[in-house]
Each structure stands twice: as C-alpha cells, then as structure tokens.
Amino acid sequence: MVKVAVVEGDGIGHEVIPVARAVLAAVRPDIEFFDVEVGYGLWERTGCACSEETIAGLGSADAILFGAVTTPPDPGYRSVMLQIRHTLDLYANVRPIRGEGVDVVIVRENTEGLYSGVEWTEPDRACTVRVVSRRGSERIARYACTLAKSRRHLTVGNKANVLKSDCLFVDTCTREAARAGVPCTARYIDALSLDLLMHPDRYDVIVTTNIFGDILSDAAAYLVGGLGMLPSANIGERAALFEPVHGSAPDIAGRNVANPVAAIRSAAMLLSHIGDPASATAVEEAVGRVLCADIRTPDLGGSAGTREFGAAVLREVGQGKA
C-alpha cells in the first residue's frame, strides 16, 4: 500500500489539489490518502501554520501531494514551505518546463542560498545570509548530473563574476559533471535567463542556486503557457513532495477558474517517483489530449472551469485504461 499525504493548503489549493487527487485515485486505486492541514488559514485560526508534529506526519508518507500556501509579509509568520523543505531535507527542487519546442528541466538547490533561513533585523536594516556550502553544492550537482546523463547536457546558472559563493558553486558543479562524464557549461544567470526565453532549444538540464532557480523557472513558464502549467518535485533522501509551481492566488480562489494542469502534472511526477512511470505517462498523455481538444481554463484562453477540466482529464484517463 502506497501512502500519500495530501495538503490542499490555501487559496486555489483547495480547488486544484482535489482534481489531482482524483486523477491519482483513478490510475492507482491502491493509494491510501490521508489529509494534512497546514498554511495561512490554519495560522489565522490557531497561531501555528505548521507544527513539528505535522511535518513528522508528512515525513511518514511515501509521497506528499501539496497545494499552494499563502505566505503573508508578516515577521511573525514562518514560511511553511521553507520549514518543510528544511526539516525533511528536501534538497532538490525539480521543475520540468515542457511544451511545444521546449523540453528543459531546472534543478534548483532547495535548502541553502538566500532561503537558508539565516536572517535577522536591526534598527536600520534587515540581513539575510546567502549560504552556499560545498556539501550542498555537491549533492545538487550529482542529482542534476543523474538527470543529464539520460538527456544531453548540463548548464550551471550562476553569478560567479559578482558573488564569491557562486565561484564555489560553479567549481563544484563542473567537477561533479566531469566526474560523471556529463557535458557541462556555465552561464551567468542574467544572460541565461534571456537566452532561455529566446532559444529554449539550446538548453536541457539547468542547475542553479535557490533563488536563481526560483526566479528562472517562474520566468520560463512563459514558454509553455504560464505558471498554471508547471509542476515541481521537492526531493530528499527519505521524503518527496510534489506541488504546482504557482501560488495560492487568493484573488481567484473559489471561482472555479484556476488551472489544475500544474497540480495534475505534479501528481504525474509523484507517480514516477513511487515507481509507476507507465501511469505517469498515461496522466501526461490524458492532459495533452484534453488540451488538444481545446478544453482550456481561462488563463489559456478557454472557458472550462477547474472542475470541468479535471472531469475531462478523468474521462481520458478512464479511456486509456479501457
């Protein structure tokens, strides 16, 4: 029995995650789901967005399907995602960017950099330390090299011409790539961001530091229709969490207009992780057929609602199983 923790989170997470859960249940009726509540809504009611006991419960699952969470600009609020990533040591954030003429995977170091959590405030300034360790750089480079071995080549996104911490990152990544026999080039992140948007065919697997990967993958969503299309995986040695890249979008929450593709594709990544690539492919193909039938949510120029799009995918999945 495969145990999957389901966290709807906040905002449109309550709409897109049930769709993804239904798709998972359709292709893998043996999955045992259990619900976990975290997020801003919980914090408003109880003063705690995510406890250590809750994270321990998440860590007991074979995989976690995670929705969007709201992070308010409140000094008393600790980011739920950063807390989970750090506690479960989900060091690799994997974001595939796939669409017509585009097939790129952005691998982002997920526990260090400017999201390391080393921060403090003073009367006239606020400080955040950018942490780039050799150990952290080695393991994210190895993860990226493992992906690149079955593809074409690796690009190291960096700003080593300005940041000394990136000199360590680039040196570590290029050494790991040479050790793995993976063709590797290093590109400054600003030039890389522009070139990726102009010439996505030049890129394959991109590895970079935490905040650079966050920004680069969001910008790359432009290539495939927006943030509503992008899934992601947060991978550690003992735990794995799968979530759409988009945020909680409170402005459209509850209106049945959110795009569930990113959540469904995150579920497909979850299926691959638990050793079922055939079902993952079936889900991806079902999404593709629905889009080709011109059933689309408003962000993609269509009129289908979140639930209606999900129902169409479920029909396609059912036909694929027949």
Between CA 13 and CA 48 the distance in angstroms is 19
* Under 8 Å between Cβ of 55 and 84: yes
User: To the nearest 10°, the Cα dihedral for 35, 36, 39, 42?
Assistant: 100
Residue tagged active-site, from 190, 222, 294, 321: 190
Q: Is 294 annotated in the active site? A: no
Q: Is 40 annotated in the active site? A: no
Please give the helix or strand (H or E) that residue 321 lies within, else none: helix 306-321
Q: Is 164 annotated in the active site? A: no
Type of residue found at 235: I
Residue tagged active-site, from 10, 166, 204, 214: 214
Between CA 27 and CA 116 the distance in angstroms is 37
Residue tagged active-site, from 62, 103, 171, 218: 218
Burial class, 142, CB count within 10 angstroms (exposed 0-12 / middle 13-18 / buried 19+): middle
Q: Is 222 annotated in the active site? A: no
Please name every residue paired with 188 in a beta bridge, in sequence order, or none if there are none.
158
Q: Which residues contact 55 (CB under 8 A, 6 or more apart)?
A: 83, 84, 87, 88
Residue tagged active-site, from 40, 91, 115, 203: 115
Residue tagged active-site, from 10, 159, 204, 276: 159
- What DSSP character marks residue 108? E
**Token pair belonging to 235:** 């991978």
For the annotated catalytic residues, the residue numbers are 115, 159, 190, 214, 218
